[in-house]
Amino acid sequence: MLEKGKITATQSGMILYPIIMSTAMITGPNLMMKHAMQDMWITPIWASCSGFLALFIANQLNQRYANMTIIEQSQQIAGTFWGKGIGFFYVLLFLQINGFIVREYAEFIALFLNGTPLSIVSSALVLVSAFAVRGGVEVIARSAQIFFPFFVVPFLIMILFILKDLEPQNILPILDNGLLPTIRAAVIPQGWFSEVFLLSFLLPYISDRTNAKKAGVVTIVACLFTMIVSNLITLFVFGDVTMTLLFPIMDMARYISVADFFENLESGVMAIWVVGVFVKVTLFYYVTVLGTAQWLNLSNFRPVVLPVGWLTILFCFWGIPDFSTVGEINSFAIPLLLTIFFVFIPGSLLLLSALTQKRNRAKGVDSG
């Protein structure tokens, strides 16, 4: 294996949680409200199904092809030619997704740093992530473990301070338009939940691998609960206005006022976003580097780190002219790509592997 480091199942969960929630917590309420209206709190329940399915597929592939990632597994299952083709598109996807995440981060930070070029903000994030990626999976896991409280605690504090301003009647009428709108709205968050498939890149390096599946389930349930709570809180505060707010959690932080002392807590939202996006960008950066090294049959992944970093910055701006394009991509293209590459393609490979093994066993019985 290219990576010699080891992490625990708990650390893998601490990596995956901010990866899913960093985007879902900030932009999720707005996107889900547009389709499900006041029933948007139901939407994450349907969306989580893709997360559980992606976790099942990742675990099954790992059991059949231990110590391999999807880049290597695809070659074992589909053959060298087709497997290389699949692996190439996975690496390209990781690169494109990571570039988009960095651009989304830069646009958000630009709200605080007026006049700062997006290229400076994005390059700074990629540079810091590059140091973590060069350190390997252990450094990434340790970083996620250290930053985890800084991701969770500010959100809990905001909920505590906003409780007095909640208007629970905004949830009514429940299911006024039936279940279908909540299911349609699940198309977007199901892509975020499917990112749990990235666990397949961590499984070969988890020391207590028997607990990895449990950690994955706990992570999905925690993300489901957090997403429901964030949707309900924004609904109780803003009602139907939620759909007009680009970053509802940010506006909620501005809404907080406790004894004329705790006010304008946007810094808390910024902390959540920065910490979550750092972990997310770093993991996508890592799987891009690791996947590239495996695809090229290299003996060391570290020489690829800087070239991939430069390409990430390039993809950050290529094809994304302005912030409105970021919103359009985030509401359709990204969830669709994530679902295809993290659920349908791995699921098809798992099915093909099962059929091939069944056919080989049948041939063995016949020849015997």
Give the tens place of pLDDT for each residue, 301-356. 999 999 999 999 998 888 777 767 777 777 778 888 999 999 999 999 999 999 98
At 245, is the pLDDT very low, low, confident or very high (cuts 50, 70, 90)? confident
Give the tens place of pLDDT for each residue, 188-237. 899 999 999 999 999 999 988 889 899 999 999 999 999 999 999 999 98
C-alpha distances in angstroms, 62 versus 72, 194, 199, 345? 11, 17, 10, 15
**What share of the chain has pLDDT > 90, as a percent?**
51
Give the tens place of pLDDT for each residue, 26-73. 888 888 888 888 899 999 999 999 999 999 999 999 999 988 999 999
Task: Work out the mean pLDDT of the chain and round it to a whole number.
Answer: 88
CA 160, 162, 167, 170 dihedral sign is negative
At 24, is the pLDDT very low, low, confident or very high (cuts 50, 70, 90)? confident
Residue 245's SS3 state is coil
- pLDDT higher than threshold 80 for residue 366: no
Q: Are 49 and 190 in contact (CB under 8 A)?
A: yes
C-alpha distances in angstroms, 238 versus 30, 74, 338? 11, 47, 30
Q: Where are the domains of the chain?
A: 16-349
Give the tens place of pLDDT for each residue, 251-275. 887 777 666 666 667 777 777 888 8
Q: How wide is the angle at C-alpha 237 spanned by C-alphas 231 and 238, nearest 5°? A: 85
Cα distance between residue 119 and residue 102, in whole Å: 10
97: Cβ–Cβ under 8 A, 6 or more apart, which residues?
A: 284, 334, 337, 338
- pLDDT higher than threshold 90 for residue 363: no
Nearest Cα residue to 31 out of 219, 184, 194: 184
Q: Which CATH architecture has domain 16-349?
A: Up-down Bundle (1.20)
Q: Are 62 and 200 in contact (CB under 8 A)?
A: yes
Q: Are 84 and 295 in contact (CB under 8 A)?
A: yes
